[in-house]
């Protein structure tokens, strides 16, 4: 059965991309007969694909993917040329992470703070936070940063994928978000003692959070001395 993917980015295959601001719209590119590269995400695993197509496909459009065959609006439009999925990474919950979740610079490890609850009970329904935060939010965010997006916009896309996953469980997003925020201040306020040496600091640098950067670097030195 085909999987549904949402288009996140679209650009001309020769590297001439349309405006990739908050809404990436391939229709801004000129040349109706040019080939396009489309990047799309699915919240289920989550997973990422890159597609080669001659069609202009806009941001947030839905693609049906069956194996390597990609269809749009009922017609075959291209082939998958690259895949990434949650199976490509490992999740580590043994470190302090200032922003609750994060990722290694090489994108092979996703981090969730060791003191953040591994599960949350939302009105009688259990949500696995390794799935929702680490795999669906942080991994998606790292993929988007790798595609050249700013951290701020990558975070927006990651929130979207996290929300779709949470709602697919039959959990109300606002209730889930409220529960997550109960722990944000607690995690952010604690003194770091063991940050991962390979933590990607781009989110903190782009947020100009110099205090957090200093604390992370100090605790990274402690980690290296310990290990």
Which structure tokens are listed for 19? 């405006």
Closest listed residue to residue 23, CA positions, set 13, 34, 10, 35:
10
Closest listed residue to residue 50, CA positions, set 110, 10, 88:
10
Q: What is the pLDDT of residue 215?
A: 95
SS3 category, 182: helix
Q: What is the pLDDT of residue 34?
A: 46
Please give the order of strands across the beta sheet that includes 90-92.
90-92, 109-112, 101-103
For the beta carbon of residue 11, count every other beta carbon within 10 angstroms.
18
Distance CA 22, CA 188 (A): 28
Q: What is the pLDDT of residue 1?
A: 86
Q: What is the pLDDT along the chain (227 residues), one digit of tens a residue?
A: 899 999 999 988 775 543 333 333 333 333 333 489 999 999 999 999 999 999 989 999 999 999 999 999 999 999 999 999 999 999 999 999 999 999 999 999 999 999 999 999 999 999 999 999 999 999 999 999 998 999 999 999 999 999 999 999 999 999 999 999 999 989 999 999 999 999 999 999 999 999 999 999 999 976 665 55
Q: What is the pLDDT of residue 64?
A: 98
Closest listed residue to residue 141, CA positions, set 126, 124, 153:
153
CB-CB contact of 63 with 40 (8 Å) = yes
Distance CA 86, CA 91 (A): 9
Closest listed residue to residue 202, CA positions, set 150, 138, 126:
150
Residue given tokens 């490509």 in the structure block: 88
Which structure tokens are listed for 4? 């549904």
Q: What is the pLDDT of residue 149?
A: 92
Question: How would you label 15-43 residue by residue, b for 16+ Cβ within 10 Å and e otherwise?
Answer: eebbebeeebbbeebeeeeeebbbbbbbb
How, if at all, do strands 62-66 and 3-12 pair?
A: antiparallel
SS3 category, 116: coil
Distance CA 118, CA 126 (A): 10
Distance CA 25, CA 42 (A): 19
Q: What is the pLDDT of residue 224?
A: 60
How, if at all, do strands 36-42 and 47-53 pair?
A: antiparallel
């Amino acid at each position: 059965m085909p999987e549904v993917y949402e288009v996140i980015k679209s650009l001309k295959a020769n590297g001439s991309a349309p405006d990739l601001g908050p809404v990436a719209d391939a229709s801004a590119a000129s040349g109706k007969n040019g080939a396009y590269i489309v990047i799309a995400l699915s919240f289920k695993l989550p997973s990422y694909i890159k597609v080669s197509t001659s069609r202009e496909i806009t941001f947030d459009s839905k693609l049906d993917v069956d194996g390597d065959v990609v269809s749009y609006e009922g017609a075959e439009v291209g082939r998958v040329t690259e895949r990434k999925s949650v199976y490509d990474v490992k999740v580590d919950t043994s470190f302090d992470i200032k922003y609750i979740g994060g990722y290694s610079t090489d994108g092979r490890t996703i981090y969730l703070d060791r003191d953040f609850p591994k599960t949350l009970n939302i009105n009688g329904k259990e949500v696995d936070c390794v799935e929702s935060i680490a795999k669906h939010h942080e991994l998606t965010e790292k993929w988007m940063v790798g595609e050249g997006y700013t951290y701020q916009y990558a975070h927006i896309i990651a929130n979207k994928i996290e929300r779709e996953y949470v709602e697919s469980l039959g959990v109300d997003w606002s209730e889930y978000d409220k529960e997550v925020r109960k722990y944000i201040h607690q995690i952010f306020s604690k003194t770091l003692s063991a940050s991962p040496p390979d933590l990607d600091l781009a989110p903190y640098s782009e947020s100009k959070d110099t205090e957090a950067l200093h604390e992370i670097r100090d605790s990274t030195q402690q980690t290296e001395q310990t290990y």
